[in-house]
Amino acid sequence: MPVGLHAPLAGSLKPIAGIALGVAQAGVRKANRDDLLVITLPDTATVAGVFTQNRFCAAPVQLCRQHMQGEGPRALIINTGNANAVTGDEGLTRATAVCAALASKLGCAVSQILPFSTGVIMESLPVERIVAGIPAALENLDENNWLRAAGAIMTTDIVAKGKSVTCAIEGQTVTVTGIAKGSGMIHPNMATMLGYVGIDARVPAGVLQTLLNAVTNESFNRVTVDGDTSTNDSFMLMANGRVDAPTVDSVDSAAYAVLYTAVSEVAVFLAQALARDGEGATKFVTILVEEGRDRAECVQIGKAIAHSPLVKTALFASDPNLGRILAAIGYAGISDLDVSQVGLWLGDVEVVRHGGRDPAYLEARAAEVMKREEITLRITLGRGTARDHVWTCDFSYDYVKINAEYRS
């Protein structure tokens, strides 16, 4: 089961005025499961997005990027079960056909539809099934459908992931609601697997994009399950632009700071949820790297540790074989690292001081920490004042089983 993570309660995900969500069972890959989601937006909405940097980015990602450059988006359409990735020109044609089918129903331009897919790579998108499912999704469009939508975008996820927070801007309550999916193939490079966040506010597109970039860097770009960046990663931020909603039109304003905090809270929760629901995960791990020269090298070392199969399997076994962590620090690529200045803590247990085993270290104490479901590793580099963090999980037997049987 996911580490300290539970499915959102009914009613806990608050609606965003004007943003409606509809779900259908299109049978994209498996029958009798929600696998198609349509999100419609009001004419006043603005949208920002970040996408995978994988060079084999999927056809819907390519098309979505193109459509983001045109008229204001009116709807998003998301399918699970098929990634429509590594499918060449045919993949683009099929993604366009899905957009055209939804556009005809909504009476808007094809370029105002943003497509997203997740699932098996290198298989043709079953356009006919998706198109056939669109009417059912439109029939149950509802502003209160965030919870069902969170379930509809799942693939190997065990629980749906969603979060709502509120903040006060210009004396008005502003709601931020978000959902995300992801469990394996998780190593975002300025994106997440699939994530959608709505805001009840007026935010110009440029300000919204700045906000999204900043939030992503502090949330989804700090989580990794297995070091694999998906071909389909997309994270979208949607402001409804309601006429009487508070306006956030400057990154230097107090209103922006308040909104940033709210959106960041949602994004951090969702990012951590990905690691907590990592395929077969039994441990949620926070890696803190401190006293670096800059944040980049702190993240570099944190990810080296987080990606090590030897570290991750030791975590699963609750085995304080902590030399594996030091080895990862050593090969992280910091060529001038003075290892005699490195320190390591496992929870509140000091393991390494000045590059060597702490004289007071007792493995029995470390073993107790390793048994916990939530563990913090803290590394000090002794070369500056910068600090940063990475969230990850362990590798269990189930990680291999889930990925070995993914297409069966």
Q: What is the pLDDT of residue 406?
A: 61
Contacts of 61 (CB under 8 A, 6+ apart): 51, 52, 116, 231, 232, 233, 234
Long-range contacts of 9-13 (CB under 8 A, 24+ apart): 10/147, 12/147, 12/162, 12/164, 13/146, 13/147, 13/150, 13/162, 13/163, 13/164, 13/177, 13/179
Hey, what are 61's tokens? 């990602």
Contacts of 69 (CB under 8 A, 6+ apart): none
> 155, 192, 229, 380: which is the annotated catalytic residue?
192
As a whole number, the mean pLDDT across the chain is: 94
In 200-319, beta strands by DSSP E = 234-239, 284-292
Q: Is 42 in the same domain as 161?
A: yes
Q: Is 131 in the same domain as 262?
A: yes
Residue 117 domain flag: yes
Q: Is 247 in the same domain as 344?
A: no
Helix (H) or strand (E) holding 234: strand 234-239
The residue to which tokens 């308040």 are assigned: 258
Q: What is the pLDDT of residue 111?
A: 98
Query: 13-17, 237-241, 395-399: lowest mean pLDDT where?
Result: 395-399
The answer to whether 236 touches 67, Cβ cutoff 8 Å, is no
Q: Is 39 in the same domain as 97?
A: yes
Report which of 161, 80, 158 is spatially closest to residue 119, judged by C-alpha positions: 80
Q: Is 223 in the same domain as 298?
A: no
Residue 85 domain flag: yes
Number of domains in the chain: 2
Residue 401 and residue 408: Cα distance in Å, rounded? 11
The answer to whether 279 touches 397, Cβ cutoff 8 Å, is no
Helices 295-307 and 323-330 cross at an angle (nearest 10°) of 130
pLDDT higher than 90, residue 336: yes
Residue 11 domain flag: no
Q: What is the pLDDT of residues 48-89, one digit of tens each?
A: 999 988 889 999 999 999 999 988 999 999 999 999 999 999
The answer to whether 41 touches 70, Cβ cutoff 8 Å, is no
Q: Is 66 in the same domain as 93?
A: yes
The answer to whether 180 touches 192, Cβ cutoff 8 Å, is yes
Q: What is the pLDDT of residues 135-192, one digit of tens each?
A: 999 999 999 999 999 999 998 888 999 999 999 999 999 999 999 998 766 566 655 5
CATH classification of the domain holding 127: 3.60.70.12
The answer to whether 74 touches 98, Cβ cutoff 8 Å, is no
pLDDT higher than 80, residue 10: yes
Residue 119 domain flag: yes
> Span 236-260, mean pLDDT?
97
From 220, 241, 276, the end of a domain falls on 276
Q: Is 263 left (phi over 0), alpha (psi -120 to 50) or beta?
A: alpha
Helices 88-106 and 127-139 cross at an angle (nearest 10°) of 30
Residue 79 domain flag: yes
CATH classification of the domain holding 294: 3.10.20.340
Q: Is 266 in the same domain as 307?
A: no
pLDDT higher than 80, residue 329: yes
Residue 355 domain flag: yes
From 223, 253, 276, the end of a domain falls on 276
Residue 403 and residue 156: Cα distance in Å, rounded? 9
Q: What is the pLDDT of residues 202-214, one digit of tens each?
A: 999 999 999 999 9
> Span 340-368, mean pLDDT?
97
List beta partners, residue 76. 39, 114
Q: Is 225 in the same domain as 207?
A: yes
Q: Is 353 in the same domain as 376?
A: yes
Q: Is 35 in the same domain as 146?
A: yes
pTM recorded for the entire structure? 0.94
Q: What is the DSSP letter of 367?
A: H
> Span 350-354, mean pLDDT?
97
> Span 353-367, mean pLDDT?
96
118 is catalytic: no
The answer to whether 240 touches 143, Cβ cutoff 8 Å, is no
Q: What is the pLDDT of residue 186?
A: 59
Residue 50 domain flag: yes
Hey, what are 42's tokens? 């009001």
Q: Is 271 in the same domain as 308?
A: no
Range of the domain at 301: 284-404
End-to-end CA distance of the chain: 21
Q: Is 321 in the same domain as 214?
A: no
Query: Strand 113-120 to strand 46-51: parallel, antiparallel, or no bridges (unpaired)?
Result: unpaired
Positive/negative CA dihedral, 13, 184, 34, 233: positive
The dihedrals phi and psi of 301, each to the nearest 5 degrees, come to -70, -40
From 276, 296, 319, the end of a domain falls on 276
> Span 217-230, mean pLDDT?
85
Residue 185 domain flag: yes
